[in-house]
Structure 1
Amino acid sequence: MKLNPDMVSFDAAAVVEFKPPGYNEGSFVFKRQGKYYLMWSEYDTRDPRSSVAYATADSPLGPFTKAPQNPVLKGRGSVKGAGHHSVLQVPGTDQWVIAYHRFKIPGGNGYNRETYLSPMRFDAQGNILPVEVFELVKPTKTSTASSQKPAAK
């Protein structure tokens, strides 16, 4: 939201709202190949339908269209309560990872949770593919400014 010159107030008439069916919490936005992805958690973590869904738009202000292939992250088997997530891109690549919480294995009950990382992939049209909750993220080396040698003087 653009703030007024006082840097506190804003034009309430300019607020754009998008609250899809099932929305609960944990909204997250990222951009990939010119498309904006809005993701959120659906239902409460103790609800068997707890999951992550998404919508896309050509602008960060929308309008967003909920994808028909939802949810993209949900529990399966011993994985329950998958939701409330964040997404990261491996720098310099088109590799993506979704970080989320789920019931601790073993012994999770909705309050005992663990953070888990899973690969997140896209099809050729840019749709997010269903996340495989049992697939581990493989270690990836990236070059960073801190690991590069300083330039010769």
Structure 2
Amino acid sequence: MKKHILVVMLIQLILTGCFATTTVKFDSNSHNPVISESNLADPHVIKHNGVYYMYPTSNGRGSPARLYVYSSSDLRNWTKHNVAFSKGVNELWAPDVFYHEATDTFYMYYTQSNSYTDIKIGIATSKTPYGPFDDKGILTDGIDAHIFQDDDGQIYFYWTKAPAGFLGQGPIAVRKMDPLSPTRFIGEEKIVIRANQGWENIFTGSPEAMFKYMPITEGAFIVKRNGTYYMLYSGGFFASVNYSTGYATSNSPMGDFTKSAKNPILSAFRQQGLSGPGHVAVVENNNGGLSIIYHGKSKGEYVEGGGDRYISEDTLWFDENGDIQIGTSFLNPNRL
């Protein structure tokens, strides 16, 4: 069975030309990456009392695994602070932090693993954005949690339902949470995104990595505009050049979501020289517009574990048709 799947994948790779090496271009005038520290990924950014706080996947391996917090006044100059959260597991990644105004509490939804057959999403809380966050235990199976609170106060929990060992489809699901206590689910879950566009199923790297991660959609992030819910998400193998970002729209946070025909909107295919960009966050910038924060790679080939990832920031806007547009910048070699 594995040999059959591998043959199909190799044919797909040949048809899409994905064996070609992407050359990463550099721009000495660029402000990216916004943090020179390497191996940062999955950035989540919030703005609280005029200050931006970033929670990336950072030194998340080893026991205890750790997640750090960074602060900024302008999204481009960041200060690293102490450990925001640590736990005695092998890995922590993809933290999503949500400020719950009703309880004046910051909730961190993190992914943890001790092995690829034991992957969970947990919750930790703090009274300050700096932490330390106190662990409140496991919420559900899966990875890459994202919290969205609608204008009516209802809270929605998005996550990727990762099967054991990642051997199988990893769709994005949504479920309502208690508006008074965002630690409890209400109602049933609903699958809203599956990997069914070609770019989402392109994997480069070792055969072992391909089987471990294919096919998956992950890193959901919701932006609401004029009554339309935009879900940005990533697909492909996170450690490869072909990891990319697309979006889907709906008139309800519960879906159904319709994927853009222009996907991927952030990728090595569309932005030449940009390698493996994904797992985005969107936040209002100081100019009143929107900024997209994402990780990308400094090398144009597969790297085990995605270890050369850096954080970048660029503008995001909507054109006259309501389609998402992104102005991307190359990496500045002097900032690496």
TM-score (norm 1): 0.71
Partners of 2:261 and 2:177 lie apart in 1 by 31
Match in the other structure for 2:292 = 98
Residue 133 in structure 1 maps to residue 307 in structure 2: no
Give the AA of the match of 1:20.
Answer: R
Partners of 1:111 and 1:29 lie apart in 2 by 27
Partners of 2:274 and 2:193 lie apart in 1 by 27
TM-score (norm 2): 0.35
Give the AA of the match of 2:276.
Answer: G
Q: Report if the CA contact (8 A) 1:101-1:114 is conserved.
A: yes
Closer, same or farther: CA 91–59 of 1 in aligned 2, 3 Å:
farther
Match in the other structure for 1:111 = 307
Q: 1:18 aligns with which of 159, 167, 192?
A: 192
Once the two structures are TM-superposed, the CA of residue 9 in structure 1 deviates from its matched residue by 5.5
Q: Residues 80-91 of structure 1 correspond to what in structure 2 (within 5 A)?
A: 80-90=275-285
What SS does structure 2 have at the residue aligned with 1:101? strand
Closer, same or farther: CA 8–31 of 1 in aligned 2, 3 Å:
closer
Once the two structures are TM-superposed, the CA of residue 91 in structure 1 deviates from its matched residue by 6.2
Q: Which runs of 5+ in 1 are unaligned?
A: 137-153
Give the AA of the match of 2:282.
Answer: V
Percentage identity across aligned positions? 28
Once the two structures are TM-superposed, the CA of residue 40 in structure 1 deviates from its matched residue by 0.6
Aligned pair count reads 131
More helix by share: 2
Q: Which runs of 5+ in 2 are unaligned?
A: 1-175, 201-215, 332-336
Once the two structures are TM-superposed, the CA of residue 122 in structure 1 deviates from its matched residue by 1.2
Match in the other structure for 1:139 = none
Partners of 1:34 and 1:8 lie apart in 2 by 26
Q: Report if the CA contact (8 A) 2:232-2:245 is conserved.
A: yes
Query: Which structure would you say has the larger RCO, counting Cα contacts within 8 Å and 6 or more residues apart?
Result: 2
Once the two structures are TM-superposed, the CA of residue 92 in structure 1 deviates from its matched residue by 7.9
More strand by share: 2
Q: In the TM superposition, what whole-angstrom CA distance separates every residue of 1:45-84 from its partner, at most 9, and x where no partner exists?
A: 2333211110011111111111111111112443211111
